[in-house]
Amino acid sequence: MSTFRVIGTRQRKLDGRDKVTGRTAFASDLRLPGMLAGRILRSPHPHARILRLDVSAAEALPGVQAVVHAGNVRQRPFGYGADNLPLKAGKVRCAGDEVAAVAAEDEETAARALELIEVEYEVLPAVFDPYSALEPGAPLVHDERRDIEGNVSMRWDFEHGDVEAASREAAVVVEGLYSSPLSAPASIETHVCLASFGSEGQLDVWTGVHMVSMYRKALADTLELDWRQITVHQPPIGGSFGGKIDIDPIDFITVLLAARARRPVRIHFSREEEFVGSRVRQPMHIRLRTGADAEGRLLFRDADVVSDNGAYNAWGSHALLVVMQTISSLYRVPNCRVRSQVVYTNKAYGGSVRGFGNPEATFAVESQTEELAEALGMDSIELRLKNANQSGDLTPQGMRITSCGLGQCLETVRRQSGWSERRGRMRALRRGLGAAAYVHVGGGARIYPSDGCGSILRIDEAGRVTLVTGASELGQGSETVLAMVVAEALGVPLGAIRVLNQDTEVKPWDVGAHASRTTFVAGNSARLAALELREKLLETAAEVLEVDAADLELDDGQISVRGSPGRSISYDRVARRRLLRQGGSMLVASTFYDPPTEPQDGRHVGNISAAYGFGAHVAEVEVDLETGLVAVLNLWCAHDVGRALNLAGVEGQIQGGAVMGLGLALTEELGIGDGHVLQPSPREYGMLTARGVPPLHLSVVETLDPEGPFGAKGVGEAGLIPVAAAVANAVADATGCRPRSYPLAPWKLLGWLREAQQPRNRSR
Amino acid sequence: MSTFRVIGTRQRKLDGRDKVTGRTAFASDLRLPGMLAGRILRSPHPHARILRLDVSAAEALPGVQAVVHAGNVRQRPFGYGADNLPLKAGKVRCAGDEVAAVAAEDEETAARALELIEVEYEVLPAVFDPYSALEPGAPLVHDERRDIEGNVSMRWDFEHGDVEAASREAAVVVEGLYSSPLSAPASIETHVCLASFGSEGQLDVWTGVHMVSMYRKALADTLELDWRQITVHQPPIGGSFGGKIDIDPIDFITVLLAARARRPVRIHFSREEEFVGSRVRQPMHIRLRTGADAEGRLLFRDADVVSDNGAYNAWGSHALLVVMQTISSLYRVPNCRVRSQVVYTNKAYGGSVRGFGNPEATFAVESQTEELAEALGMDSIELRLKNANQSGDLTPQGMRITSCGLGQCLETVRRQSGWSERRGRMRALRRGLGAAAYVHVGGGARIYPSDGCGSILRIDEAGRVTLVTGASELGQGSETVLAMVVAEALGVPLGAIRVLNQDTEVKPWDVGAHASRTTFVAGNSARLAALELREKLLETAAEVLEVDAADLELDDGQISVRGSPGRSISYDRVARRRLLRQGGSMLVASTFYDPPTEPQDGRHVGNISAAYGFGAHVAEVEVDLETGLVAVLNLWCAHDVGRALNLAGVEGQIQGGAVMGLGLALTEELGIGDGHVLQPSPREYGMLTARGVPPLHLSVVETLDPEGPFGAKGVGEAGLIPVAAAVANAVADATGCRPRSYPLAPWKLLGWLREAQQPRNRSR
């Protein structure tokens, strides 16, 4: 069917071999002459007033070049609601809050200097639970904020249709409260920031951030610097999963230290500090009510969401945007109401971890879908198919569904898992099957005036094709897929393409790597640039071959006259002929692609993405009733990816997502005790290892999206979204006991099983 | 007169402060993980057969990771006539020839390993003098070359008109043999090359070369690599003066070592090795005959040139191209004949040192101009003015003289130096005045199918303007002048511009920094890009301000409606308005400028440059007759630079050139004894220090070249060209004794003074 030469093949990552052989230089491998080691002093208290700070002994320690704290730097508040400061002033609001920092000749001196800083705190009552935080008289995390009520930092409300009326009409209504845990992105590479001022005031920063343009702006705004003087360098990133998406106190503090020391400074988080000082996936509590008619047509959804935001508003405060979409738009929901509160607590605060609200909301919606099916006496996949979105739908939030493979994905996992024969029939074996589907933005997400990405594509005299892209490679394989897009659209061999992922001096604008948008947005941008260059190549080839450009074809680097196979010339010779002559010209194309989307309006309506991705999973589990251990035996995953550009990359993303989803479903939770992270180590935190991964059965459904590059849609987060829901549903099938929160820790499961023996009362 | 805001001002180098404060990271500051130290084993003999080479003991030394020699690498000949090899095979032809090399964990181990390499040589008779090399039966440097006669590697012949007939008509004919020494570029930074192979076969090379595109090609061709896989990085260069213009054995050998060791390798020349292993300015012997009519109109020139090329043909073999131009085209010469032989000798071989044939030829022509004036009984400046080229002239070699300030330059230095009153009247004081003029390419020099330069200019959302240029900054100030060109043409503040000078992945094509072409060619390229972006800026501003773009003016970053001063918007806001909106677009322009020139044809005719620079110096000297010491008391320098874009930069170039010229005139000579460099140290070599610099009186003559950017012409080499001739002429004025070679070493001068007492016989 496809006449593509590169698109649709399996290509290993172009940057992979250097990475696995240890040749790649990450940020932590960089050294600048005179570079100092920076360290941050963190609050030991989850909530306290800073009464006195004395850095004189630290400053006096030989080898210390700078000590910074709120009293000796210029800093402005940052974050949504301007509720955060790089170095905290007056009060700390979570354990780990940044109070001071030092830069010294070596790490040991910096560590000793931290011990010499004297801080006197007045410990304040703290609040760790969002429901307690909502109670009258609860300690106020941000008592300085006059613009909010109590601890509610934001509300995200949506209403469509008439939920009350629909509620009265419904034949069946189910209700439940679904909770997700505090978890961590836990990438292999920890946070590193290296900052250096030049003698003319120019600032160079090296960091693993993947929203470099907005990072630069935030750095300038908060530290009152001229952003034209700032260059943000993006060395290869050792994973992020959203943990490095944008700016953090580490970045500001590194720059403040470099400014004060007048030397380059690097801060490099230890593994422990990575858990304590980085953003987390905040817990969510979703009380959901769904009603349907007797035939199983959804009539309404009504949701009350409490987001356990933590101490400050970072990206996590906006995950409610996504929660709302899953509730309103995974299925056809004619009436919908969502009320969400973002609640401050004295804890680690939420960032934009992979999935960003999707797994949490999907857990609620897809757990309830199976409960609803049960109540209706229907098969849950049938119920899903009946209510599934179709191409051409416009959802209550204004999402225009173009390509849509949800039905095909559901049918695929149903068939492959033996659902119809096995579901509900293995309880004796303590085995069960559970399904879950998802909807996700697949064509960018307009969260900023521009959701675009620029490309500058050049063919040099050697025939090397260089793509300077705004996109960020963070291990997800974007460079490989962009090279493939260019190779295909331009018609040259993949080996000729180099993708450059450099600094803000060279990189064009891109809003950043988030929302699974890179293949779609940067891919379209690269494709347009390649098509423009292809025209120029053919134009020059036509001159050389003395034919009309329309009679030429370009394939695998060879330009030939259609029908005259002997008359041909290679693209690199054409590039030389064009460039290396009197009055020559370069083969350069610069393009900018901004997807045809709308920002959401004040009512949260707007076609936020140019395409939507869909998929469905079925999990098979076996539950040990004595220990409470859940073993996932199989996971069937079918994803509508539009078109798989790099089959190996798409499968890798889905597999990686699925494994991350399994970790969330089964083991990952960042425990907090008295406001402190209890297990700041990867092993104790509960990340899965390769041994914990069950057989994954992947199916790629290609719906050929009309707007996507070669029909592709984003797939970066998809794999993890429905996993917890599918596993929980399988546990319910295996045991008759319905989990209402994850991870499915054995002690929790044993508790539920005991409870299930008693009369039904599983509210929170 | 000028309405420019930036052009014509004095701007210190944008990269200057980082350089003088030690922040700039040069190639020698780079470290790669696992980097090895490379060292080269050099021949101790100027001419010998390699009978046996045994590297086994070196290979066995712990810490040695690779040993390379002609017997274990793949290498093809390189250089003009393919007469050179990175690692010599069979024969060595000059002391210092590369025989083998090692890469080891550290410099000490590498040095010890070199000592363990056993080489058995059969010493061959050597030839050091080109006239001896021309004699029948002389030792043959390249006995393997069947395509040449004896030791004559090339001939550069030119004929125009009828020299014989003109010779018969001439009222006066003068003749002399003028010789120039072996000298060295001697930049502060020595040669460094760092090479590293990636795991996919990609090769990264860091080097101070300033013809990066052609370097990459030569590297690939000689080592049989795929040039698409090679990235050449250009760190800041610590001076070159032509010594680093293109590829050298160090580069090939570093790559060969890196390939064999499978580790990054760096070779870093010591100061001594820099003198022994790098290219030199080869000696020239120019026998020149000039005839004029009784009124002083030149009738012919007849030249016989012997270039003492050294052992191999590098760039130096092509300096005859320039020698020919000065002879044929500095003045109006109706009949001209040049015969040049490039002669192999067993010595260090010639590269493309600043001036490249110009100072040597100018010494001959301008010494003889004063002799001719003497013979005619005319003032030499009058004689020059009478024969000076004028705008509109077409010289015998096809050089089209457009802007021409030669007459104005001559008049300026005549007036300023008190020439008319003082010349010939200070002999009692042993003081004298001498003049010399020059012509030089000032608008590129087409030595390759393209003499172009590409630019990619971008304005980002911060208003930062980034110029990615093909040009190379090597300390000459090109980044500063290009930033000024962009600031002026675009209409934004200079501080907003960044010039990027990176690697071949990012840099567009440029033939390289040579022939004083960067301001002209890269400047025109940058200017065109800026004008294109200016249009785009105004287009968007017109939308925002709701006016016609034609009614807008852009000055210092502010776009305003002509006649409505209140209606204005800053350029960076316009950039944001254009980019950060739905369906936005980037402000990017890519341009390529190739000057309107012709390659020389087989007869050496062709308008090789788009403009020609002119100038004149007058030197005042005092000669100590007892010691032979020449003190330069004053140097008046007037240069037609078209337009001075950065006055500080232009003056810096002229001053630097003049000082380099004074070194050549007075002290610099790389002595060779039995084929070995006698003083491989900067102090003994004779470079001037700041204390040796006399008052320099600079005059900038602006002729506003029609093709140059804002009227500018190249000035990078100009300052040094006429110095030796002017000083020698001043010595002749002071003493009556005419130097026919330089440097004017005291022992030589004393000899000439003694000889001058005897009957005239100063032939060689």
Task: Judge contact between B95 and B43, C-beta under 8 A.
Answer: yes
Q: What is the ipTM of this complex?
A: 0.94
Domain limits at A116? 31-124+189-277
> Are residue A81 and residue A208 in the same domain, yes or no?
yes
For residue B173, tell me if it sits in a domain.
Answer: no
A461 at B interface, C-beta within 8 A: yes
Residue A759 confidence (pLDDT)? 60
What span, in angstroms and rounded, lies between the C-alpha atoms of A194 and A233? 10
Of the candidates B450, B502, B579, the beta carbon closest to that of A580 is on: B450
Pairing of strands B298-310, B335-344: parallel
Strand order in the sheet with B48-54: B91-92, B48-54, B118-123
> Are residue A118 and residue A129 in the same domain, yes or no?
no
Q: Which of A387, A409, A425 is the last residue of a domain?
A: A387
Residue of A460, A507, A608 to mutate for B, most B C-beta atoms under 10 A: A460
What CATH number is given to the structural domain containing A417? 3.30.365.10
Pairing of strands A465-469, A453-459: antiparallel
Q: Which of B542, B575, B593 is the last residue of a domain?
A: B593
The number of C-beta contacts closer than 8 angstroms across A and B is 160
Residue of B20, B23, B507 to mutate for A, most A C-beta atoms under 10 A: B23
Residue A261 DSSP class: H
Q: Is the pLDDT of residue A763 over 70?
A: no
Contact A200 B21 (CB under 8 A): no
Alpha carbon of A725 to those of A362, A418, A740, B221: distances in Å? 7, 19, 10, 60
Residue A760 confidence (pLDDT)? 55
Structure-block tokens of residue B97: 């020839």
Cβ atoms within 10 Å of A7's Cβ, excluding its own:
22
> Are residue A270 and residue A302 in the same domain, yes or no?
no
> Are residue B315 and residue B195 in the same domain, yes or no?
no
Span A372-401, pLDDT tens digits = 999 999 999 999 999 999 999 999 999 999
For residue B164, tell me if it sits in a domain.
Answer: no
Of the candidates B227, B466, B505, the beta carbon closest to that of A466 is on: B505
In chain A the first and final C-alpha atoms are separated, in Å, by 53
- Residue B305's SS3 state is strand
Q: Is the dihedral of CA B338, B343, B348, B349 positive or negative?
A: positive
- Residue A67's SS3 state is strand
DSSP A277-327: HS-BB--EEEEEEEEE-TT--EEEEEEEEEEEEESS-SGGGGTHHHHHHHH
Contact B580 A449 (CB under 8 A): yes
What span, in angstroms and rounded, lies between the C-alpha atoms of A383 and A366? 11
Task: Judge contact between A490 and A599, C-beta under 8 A.
Answer: no
Grade residue A764 by pLDDT with cuts at 50, 70 and 90: very low
> Are residue B442 and residue B462 in the same domain, yes or no?
no
Residue B674 DSSP class: T
Contact B590 A592 (CB under 8 A): no
Residue A2 confidence (pLDDT)? 57
Mean pLDDT of B417-442: 97
Task: Judge contact between A435 and A616, C-beta under 8 A.
Answer: yes
Cis peptide before A743 (omega within 30 of 0): yes
What span, in angstroms and rounded, lies between the C-alpha atoms of A195 and A29? 14
What span, in angstroms and rounded, lies between the C-alpha atoms of A442 and B632? 76
Diameter of chain A measured on Cα atoms:
89
CA B468 to chain centre: 23
Q: Is the pLDDT of residue A758 over 90?
A: no
Q: Could you tell me which of B281, B284, B282, B372 has the C-alpha nearest to residue B331?
A: B372
B52 at A interface, C-beta within 8 A: no
Residue type at position B185: P
Task: Judge contact between B470 and B649, C-beta under 8 A.
Answer: no
- Residue B71's SS3 state is helix
Q: Chain B residue closest to A461 (CA)?
A: B509
Alpha carbon of B128 to those of B152, B182, B343, B588, B653: distances in Å? 14, 12, 10, 56, 34
Where helices occur in A418-509 by DSSP H, the ranges are: 419-422, 478-490
Residues in chain B: 764
Residue A712 confidence (pLDDT)? 98
Q: Which residue has the tokens 């968007």?
A: B540
Structure-block tokens of residue B488: 């002026």
For residue A392, tell me if it sits in a domain.
Answer: no
Average pLDDT of every residue of chain B: 96
> Are residue B435 and residue B289 in the same domain, yes or no?
yes
B502 at A interface, C-beta within 8 A: yes
Q: Is the pLDDT of residue A287 over 50?
A: yes
Mean pLDDT of B631-643: 98
A227 at B interface, C-beta within 8 A: yes
Contact A456 B456 (CB under 8 A): yes
Pairing of strands A265-268, A36-42: parallel
- Residue A38's SS3 state is strand
> Are residue B622 and residue B692 in the same domain, yes or no?
yes
For residue A718, tell me if it sits in a domain.
Answer: yes
E strand intervals along B111-264: 118-123, 152-160, 172-180, 192-197, 203-207, 230-233
Span B334-381, pLDDT tens digits = 999 999 999 999 999 999 999 999 999 999 999 999 999 999 999 999
What span, in angstroms and rounded, lies between the C-alpha atoms of B581 and B588? 16
Q: Which residue has the tokens 């829901």?
A: A725
Residue type at position A99: V
Q: Could you tell me which of B194, B156, B512 has the C-alpha nearest to residue B341?
A: B156
Residue B227 DSSP class: G
Cβ atoms within 10 Å of A282's Cβ, excluding its own:
30
Span B35-71, pLDDT tens digits = 999 999 999 999 999 999 999 999 999 999 999 999 9
Residue B759 confidence (pLDDT)? 61
What span, in angstroms and rounded, lies between the C-alpha atoms of A423 and A734? 9
Name, in order, each residue with C-beta under 8 angstroms of B745's C-beta and a sequence gap of 6 or more: B628, B666, B667, B669
Residue A683 confidence (pLDDT)? 81
What CATH number is given to the structural domain containing B232? 3.90.1170.50
Q: Is the pLDDT of residue A762 over 50?
A: no
Number of domains composing chain A: 4
Q: Could you tell me which of B715, B701, B482, B718 has the C-alpha nearest to residue B593?
A: B482
For residue A496, tell me if it sits in a domain.
Answer: yes
Strand order in the sheet with A630-640: A431-441, A612-623, A630-640, A696-701
Of the candidates B29, B466, B509, the beta carbon closest to that of A33 is on: B29
- Phi/psi for A615 (5° steps) reads -175, 170
For residue B623, tell me if it sits in a domain.
Answer: yes
A496 at B interface, C-beta within 8 A: yes
Percent of residues, chain A, with pLDDT higher than 90: 94
Q: Which helix (H) or strand (E) holds A459?
A: strand A453-459
Average pLDDT of every residue of chain A: 96
For residue A9, tell me if it sits in a domain.
Answer: no
> Are residue B351 and residue B398 in the same domain, yes or no?
yes
Q: Which residue has the higher pLDDT, B764 or A505?
A: A505
A508 at B interface, C-beta within 8 A: yes
Q: Chain A residue closest to B225 (CA)?
A: A462
B598 at A interface, C-beta within 8 A: yes
> Are residue B610 and residue B652 in the same domain, yes or no?
yes
Residue of A232, A582, A601 to mutate for B, most B C-beta atoms under 10 A: A582
Mean pLDDT of A455-474: 97
Task: Judge contact between A529 and A467, C-beta under 8 A.
Answer: yes
Grade residue A756 by pLDDT with cuts at 50, 70 and 90: confident
Grade residue A691 by pLDDT with cuts at 50, 70 and 90: confident
Q: Is the pLDDT of residue B604 over 90?
A: yes
What span, in angstroms and rounded, lies between the C-alpha atoms of B417 and B415? 6
Mean pLDDT of B414-421: 98
Contact B228 A464 (CB under 8 A): yes
Q: Could you tell me which of B352, B340, B329, B337 has the C-alpha nearest to residue B285?
A: B340
Cβ atoms within 10 Å of B706's Cβ, excluding its own:
12
The crossing angle, in degrees rounded to 10, of helices B723-735 and B647-666 is 50
b/e burial code for range A647-661 (CB count within 10 A of at least 16 → b):
bbbbbbbbbbbbbbb
Chain A residues touching residue B586 (CB < 8 angstroms): 454, 508-509, 590, 592
Window 420-459 of B, Cβ < 8 Å to A: 446, 448-450, 452, 454, 456, 458
Grade residue A682 by pLDDT with cuts at 50, 70 and 90: confident
> Are residue B420 and residue B467 in the same domain, yes or no?
no
Grade residue B764 by pLDDT with cuts at 50, 70 and 90: very low
Pairing of strands A172-180, A192-197: unpaired
Residue A434 confidence (pLDDT)? 98
> Are residue A584 and residue A560 in the same domain, yes or no?
yes
For residue A602, tell me if it sits in a domain.
Answer: no
> Are residue A295 and residue A406 in the same domain, yes or no?
no
Contact B33 A25 (CB under 8 A): yes
Q: Could you tell me which of A582, A6, A538, A93 has the C-alpha nearest to residue A310?
A: A93
Residue A138 DSSP class: P
Percent of residues, chain B, with pLDDT higher than 70: 99
- Phi/psi for B101 (5° steps) reads -155, 155
Q: Which of A258, A277, A296 is the last residue of a domain?
A: A277
Q: Is the dihedral of CA A265, A271, A272, A275 positive or negative?
A: positive
A9–chain B nearest CA distance, Å: 19
Mean pLDDT of A530-556: 96
Judged by phi (left if over 0) then psi (alpha if -120 to 50, else beta), residue A503 lies in beta
Alpha carbon of B741 to those of B413, B434, B719: distances in Å? 24, 15, 20
Window 296-355 of B, Cβ < 8 Å to A: none
Contact B509 A586 (CB under 8 A): yes
